[in-house]
Amino acid sequence: KKVKMNNASTSSSTDIVVNVNEEDWFCILCDAIRLENMIQCIGCKTWVHEACEGVSQEDRIHLCPKC
């Protein structure tokens, strides 16, 4: 599976091939498991769907609503 990952320590997005379980695609905002681009909160390290948070890969630093 090819996934766009956002890494705050680099200056560009990178394609990374990963094997994940469906549970790894759980979004804390919509409480759903959907296979789509996600971004990690730099505070609590949880993941949200980019579409749910209204952000994109260009957003390097992300804080979720809980943080």
Residue 30: the pLDDT is 92
CATH code: domain 2-53 is 3.30.40
Task: Give domain limits for the chain.
Answer: 2-53
Q: Which helix (H) or strand (E) holds 51?
A: helix 50-53
Q: Find the length of the chain.
A: 67
Of 7, 25, 8, which is closest to residue 16 (Cα–Cα)?
7
Tell me the whole-structure pTM to 2 decimals.
0.60
Tens of pLDDT along 2-48? Answer: 444 555 554 555 665 556 666 678 898 899 988 888 888 899 988 88
